[in-house]
């Protein structure tokens, strides 16, 4: 294998205004080996282009789910197959 064995591929899904800013509803992403938590991933996403920088400008404001389970920023990505990013839910 020519790539780092610790890098892993995951499906990332974007919802609501996160999707609008990124310009995609989902994609396959190769996560660098040093990206270990959801917070790390959100910060790394900022470096992927203008749309990502805008969407992830305040990574603490974005909510996430791993394999359809809501998680916190310090949650380890581990062997996740799917990660979803979405804005906080507000009610009225």
Q: What is the CATH number of the domain that holds 67?
A: 3.10.20.30
Q: What are 36-57's pLDDT values in tens digits?
A: 999 999 999 999 999 999 999 9
Domain-embedded: residue 92: no
Question: Tokens 């899904």 correspond to what residue?
Answer: 13
Question: Tokens 């789910």 correspond to what residue?
Answer: 65
Domain-embedded: residue 1: no
Q: Enter the pTM of the model.
A: 0.88
How does the average pLDDT of the chain come out, rounded?
91
Name the band, by pLDDT with cuts 50, 70 and 90, for residue 3: very low
Domain enclosing residue 22, as ranges: 8-86
Measured between alpha carbons, how far is 75 from 26 in angstroms, rounded to an integer?
A: 21
pLDDT > 90 in the chain, percent:
80
Phi and psi at residue 20, in whole multiples of 5°? Answer: -65, -40
Measured between alpha carbons, how far is 48 from 42 in angstroms, rounded to an integer?
A: 11
């Amino acid at each position: 294998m020519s790539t780092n064995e610790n890098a892993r591929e995951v499906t990332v899904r974007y919802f609501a205004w996160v999707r609008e800013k990124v310009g995609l509803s989902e994609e396959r992403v190769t996560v660098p080996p040093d990206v270990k938590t959801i917070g790390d991933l959100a910060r790394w996403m900022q470096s992927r282009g203008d749309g990502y920088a805008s969407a992830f400008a305040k990574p603490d404001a974005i909510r996430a789910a791993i394999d359809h389970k809501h998680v916190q920023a310090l949650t380890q990505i581990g062997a996740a197959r799917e990660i979803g990013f979405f804005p906080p839910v507000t009610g009225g």
